[in-house]
Structure 1
Amino acid sequence: MDDLYRPSARGLATLAVAMLAHPAANATLKDDIGYTALSGMLGASLPDGEVAVFQIEANENEQNWIADSSNPDFAGKTIVGLSAPPSPAPSSHATGVGRSFYGNTVSTSPGITDIGAHSVIGWLFEHLAPGTVKTTPPIVTHRRVANHSWVGGGLVDASGNLSPEDTSSMLRHADWVSDVDELVQVYGANNSSNDRVFMSTALNGITAGVTDATHSDGVVALDDIYVAGRPALHLVTPVATTSSSTPTIASAAALLIDAAQQNPSWSESTTSNRQGTPIYNAERGETIKAALMAGASRITYNTTMMGDIVDYREDAANRTDNGLDWRYGAGQLNMLRSYQILAAGESASAEDDGVGNLGFTGFDHDDKFGGHMGSNTIATYDLGTTNISIDLHVALVWNLAVTGAQNNTSQFDESAQLHNLDLELIDVGAGDAIVAASTSSIANTENIWITLEPYTHYQLRVTRAAGQSNFAWDYSIAWSEAPATTFFGNVPLPFWSLIFFAICLAKFGVRAKTL
């Protein structure tokens, strides 16, 4: 018989949230994360993020966890409380987070109208692990994005001590749901300190930080799957707290999912989640995560005055083994570039009958890789030749494989395997020399950021890392080009305009003096 599975959760707390008073207050943020540029490019065709979502909140004042549905920014939306007992009253924290996630004026996905709200305890013990035993499968859902603006230390035993076994068990349930339900889960890193990193330790989600790097960046060591030394952060945004950053990224994910649904030609095939909903490759969880990471800005000049990235990976101490920066993950959210990655369309590897000269922006979802069942162990993406020097951003993403409840069985199997993939950039003209590589053995993303030489033929190569038996697993890879890193090439338009204006004034002054 299974042990009773109702341990207590340790250190649950909301993350401080910066309340947004009106649309103008968020205008510069939308500039800095690429939304304004995306809106300008697409005009009336801009997706509005019309997907169903979850919002999970810790109790405020020990009881309230749901957003205020009477807030004018939620007009036309249905916010349904899914946890028991119901929230006695609205939570100001949940309301602020909701405005950034799905608000009509503040968020980047105002088309979200179907919101399922959970308390943290309800989410953990009613959705992820319902009932009282570990083997109960999570609840099936049609929702596609989940926002977690809360932190916790993990699950504890009767003595109040951290239970690594129970904490790992809950993370495996969460990671399985991300995979089989195609649920993009965005978790907030803790503000300031490195404690309370419960859900940041999950492998299949996206962990959000802030651009000024006042957040935690680590994970809790639990077992041979959730190990120490792995970077937690994936993306940052230029806001005051991680509670605001998390829904900003979740809202961007919803917009990208909506865009992929509206443009089926971007994808070469589909899958289905447990709900039976067809999922295009461009909207799969790994693809959305890869597009967000490959699209992120590594150098920023923000208008929000909430920090900037100016020395990405310059110091060896800030470099992670999988090509990220401990402080910023893949960098700052850039919705324009992430959208462009998906809009470039899916391109198969050469081993899967893909063509050459793919270009320097695009993505692929390989549904079967690793050597088992005839799948390939090498995947080559021939990007072609660039005539100018450009920056290349690449993200390879795959999920932790949790056995879970296969074939809709009523028993949840917690066994899991983290496959190991490597990522390389090849100079074809130099005898297939490896010019950059990402080869972590404990993470499930590999990343490359490099300035490419002009008139050079490049390929990306995904390989099964040495020392593994054959397996068949899926991954997504996304790549994006950007102007070679210079000051002017990365300045947002409003600031660039000021510089240009200043230069014009300076020239006018010189000319006036010579008349």
Structure 2
Amino acid sequence: MKKRKALTWYVTAVMCYCSLAHAAYQDDIGYTQLATELGAATPDGSGVAVTQVEAETGDGEFSPNKPGASTLSGKVFVAGSTGSTDYSPHAFGVASLFYGNFDSIAPGITNIKYFSAEGWAQGDFLRAGEVVVPDYTTHDSRVANHSWIGFLEDPDTEVYDRPLTLEAVQRLDWVIATDDYIHVAGVNNGSSSYPLNMEAFNTITVGNLSGTTSTVTSALLEGGGNPYVEGRIIPLLVATNSATSNATPVISAAAALLVETADANPAFSLNRSHANASRANQTIYDGATSEAIKAILMAGASRIAINQQTDDTYTLATVSATTPDPNGLDYRFGAGVLNIYNSYHILASGEVDSDEDDGGGSGSIDATYGWDYDESFGDLGDNSTATYRFSLAETLMFMSTLTWNADIDIDQLATVSPTPDSAATLYDLDLALYDVTGGSNTLVSESASSTQNTETIWTTLLGGRDYELRVTTTSSNFEWDYAVAWRTEALVVPEPGSLAMLILAGIGGTMRRGDRRY
């Protein structure tokens, strides 16, 4: 067993220094439409504490708190890691989009804890390399942003330490599943894989519309019985910002906006909460669970997006699943472009039980917007099939995403470090849509990956028909939770001449302690 030395393991990180996107990005993601509709009632992240993790610059800076910056006026910062107190330009740029007063969609966020990536991965939070459980958030943070990527190295050889990196990834997955502490992680602007954060199952991974970012995972552990296999789809979502460092805090802000909405409206979650659910003794409503937020964001995503951040032009970017995975995601863009208008309305439509959980009800849903969180699914739970019934009067596009977390055996991780084996169990859940008109049972579409923890359906449904959305499982001897979200929209046929894919340049590079990057 290799014992950890104080701060000798370090994170190799890739960062992108980019100017802030014009506020037109808010038009791209449906925020302007939402704010116009809700007016003064538009959620802004108020009351949601957050965390920002940053790779250190060459001079050791990682603080987002730029002195005198008006966009950070009223914000309260708490350092989670020791080191330089000087601000990092990269961290400040991320902060401006995450919770800044002028550029963020969640400017109501005021309480921020920030870490260096090195400290967060090791002794300050995840405690990789130690035989103890990860820390918990005494700051009450609900959403964490990671606009950096990396891996852990052996301090003596400076060689990638795969077992310790796997341990850190599994610790992150455990924190998310245990505390419903939502972590949003950017993928590499280039094609290389940096496993820490972006290859965790339970994170929300973020890319951009360039189509050149990392698209699949590497193999964190070879051999059978290991769910961290090569080829899993990343990212899950994209935003129209030019680099993943800027796209990621936009998704984080959207997650915080939804958490605020769920907390402020218990009825949206059928008044179901999990008191003291997290190790920080937070009350988590169904709509604010890590599974529900991920499902609602993914189901709300736009498969066709207009990027309005160029000077004079409107470039249509099609995000159709031209290279789909068995879980229904596009290899480049995941579920599509963030659309907070859709996601807000999915959440606000209210939780709806499946037929099996409805106490003898019909399991009938409104297909326009909806979602469900099932805390006891599986053959050891309340049900191992969940059915949601609906009818359509007209032909529409139908989107649905099913999400669940990987189950991590923390006792294994907290006993031997680094653990030689995977401590994760990935239950196999599937999502299928059937036409049941007149007693028929015709499969229309399905998402049935065996290696990933999301399933997504995106298909055209004919009007005048009856349908069933079904969640099933091939796993046994388990009880676990999932969330599923859905919506419909009118068919959109873009003009053929406007289907030019937006290509944006990313900046990537490797940085170690002592290197400089400007």
Q: TM-score, normalised by structure 1?
A: 0.87
**What corresponds to 1:59 in structure 2?**
56
**What corresponds to 1:261 in structure 2?**
263
Match of 2:387 among 377, 380, 383: 380
Match of 1:415 among 417, 423, 436: 423
**What corresponds to 1:158 in structure 2?**
156
Cα shift at 1:88: 3.5
Q: Distance in 1 between matches of 2:433 and 2:207?
A: 28
Cα shift at 1:351: 0.6
**What corresponds to 2:14 in structure 1?**
13
Paired letter, 1:477: V
Q: Distance in 1 between matches of 2:105 and 2:415?
A: 38
Q: Does 1:41 align with 2:50?
A: no
Deviates more, 1:326-335 or 1:123-132: 123-132
CA separation of 1:274 and 1:308: change in aligned 2, threshold 3 A: farther
Aligned ranges 1:74-113 → 2 under 5 Å: 74-85=72-83, 87-113=84-110
Q: Distance in 1 between matches of 2:123 and 2:50?
A: 17
CA separation of 1:211 and 1:92: change in aligned 2, threshold 3 A: same
Q: Distance in 2 between matches of 1:143 and 1:370?
A: 30
Cα shift at 1:171: 0.6
The DSSP-based 3-state class of the residue aligned with 2:122 is helix
Paired letter, 1:92: P
The DSSP-based 3-state class of the residue aligned with 2:27 is helix
Q: Does 1:469 align with 2:465?
A: no
Indicate the structure with greater helix content. 1
Cα shift at 1:257: 0.5
The DSSP-based 3-state class of the residue aligned with 1:19 is coil
> Deviations 1:229-279 (Å, cap 9, x if unpaired)?
111111111111110000000001100110111111000211121111111
**What corresponds to 1:428 in structure 2?**
436
**CA RMSD across the alignment:** 2.2
Q: Does 1:204 align with 2:192?
A: no
Aligned ranges 1:96-175 → 2 under 5 Å: 96-130=93-127, 133-141=130-138, 142-156=140-154, 158-175=156-173
Q: Distance in 1 between matches of 2:220 and 2:415?
A: 26
The DSSP-based 3-state class of the residue aligned with 2:53 is strand
Q: Distance in 2 between matches of 1:229 and 1:82?
A: 34
Between the aligned residues of both structures, percent identity stands at 37
**What corresponds to 2:192 in structure 1?**
194
Structure 1 unaligned regions, length at least 5: 492-515
Q: Distance in 1 between matches of 2:406 and 2:73?
A: 38
Paired letter, 2:109: I
Cα shift at 1:403: 2.4
Q: Distance in 2 between matches of 1:131 and 1:398?
A: 24
CA separation of 1:126 and 1:4: change in aligned 2, threshold 3 A: closer
Q: Does 1:304 align with 2:312?
A: no
Q: Does 1:333 align with 2:338?
A: yes
The DSSP-based 3-state class of the residue aligned with 1:259 is helix
**What corresponds to 2:375 in structure 1?**
367
Q: Distance in 2 between matches of 1:170 and 1:456?
A: 48
Q: Distance in 2 between matches of 1:399 and 1:304?
A: 35
Q: Distance in 2 between matches of 1:251 and 1:45?
A: 17
The DSSP-based 3-state class of the residue aligned with 1:144 is strand
The DSSP-based 3-state class of the residue aligned with 1:198 is helix
Cα shift at 1:195: 3.2
Cα shift at 1:469: 2.4
Match of 2:273 among 257, 260, 270: 270
Mapped contact 1:14–1:60 kept (Cα < 8 A)? no
Q: Distance in 2 between matches of 1:181 and 1:311?
A: 33
Q: Distance in 2 between matches of 1:88 and 1:190?
A: 27
Q: Distance in 1 between matches of 2:236 and 2:315?
A: 17
The DSSP-based 3-state class of the residue aligned with 1:393 is strand
Q: Distance in 1 between matches of 2:94 and 2:479?
A: 39
**What corresponds to 2:217 in structure 1?**
219
Q: Distance in 1 between matches of 2:325 and 2:152?
A: 25
Q: Distance in 2 between matches of 1:235 and 1:49?
A: 20
The DSSP-based 3-state class of the residue aligned with 2:306 is coil
Q: Distance in 1 between matches of 2:71 and 2:204?
A: 26
The DSSP-based 3-state class of the residue aligned with 2:212 is coil
Mapped contact 2:128–2:168 kept (Cα < 8 A)? no
Paired letter, 1:99: S
Cα shift at 1:192: 2.2
Mapped contact 2:268–2:349 kept (Cα < 8 A)? yes
Mapped contact 2:128–2:167 kept (Cα < 8 A)? no
Match of 1:396 among 399, 402, 410: 402
Cα shift at 1:178: 1.0
Structure 2 unaligned regions, length at least 5: 499-518
Q: Stretches of 4+ moved more than 6 A in 1?
A: 409-414
Q: Distance in 1 between matches of 2:213 and 2:122?
A: 27
**What corresponds to 1:439 in structure 2?**
448
Q: Distance in 1 between matches of 2:31 and 2:435?
A: 34
Q: Distance in 2 between matches of 1:101 and 1:307?
A: 25
Cα shift at 1:131: 8.3
Q: Does 1:346 align with 2:371?
A: no
Paired letter, 1:122: G
Cα shift at 1:311: 5.2
The DSSP-based 3-state class of the residue aligned with 1:257 is helix
Cα shift at 1:390: 0.9
Give the count of matched residue pairs.
Answer: 474
Q: Distance in 2 between matches of 1:52 and 1:263?
A: 18
The structure with the larger Rg is 1
Deviates more, 1:186-195 or 1:474-483: 186-195
The DSSP-based 3-state class of the residue aligned with 1:282 is helix
Paired letter, 1:394: S
Mapped contact 1:7–1:166 kept (Cα < 8 A)? no
Q: Distance in 2 between matches of 1:187 and 1:425?
A: 30
Match of 1:456 among 457, 465, 479: 465
Mapped contact 1:187–1:246 kept (Cα < 8 A)? yes
**What corresponds to 1:511 in structure 2?**
none
Q: TM-score, normalised by structure 2?
A: 0.87
CA separation of 1:309 and 1:240: change in aligned 2, threshold 3 A: same
Cα shift at 1:19: 2.8
**What corresponds to 2:515 in structure 1?**
none
Q: Distance in 2 between matches of 1:155 and 1:166?
A: 8
Q: Distance in 2 between matches of 1:343 and 1:71?
A: 34
Cα shift at 1:302: 2.3
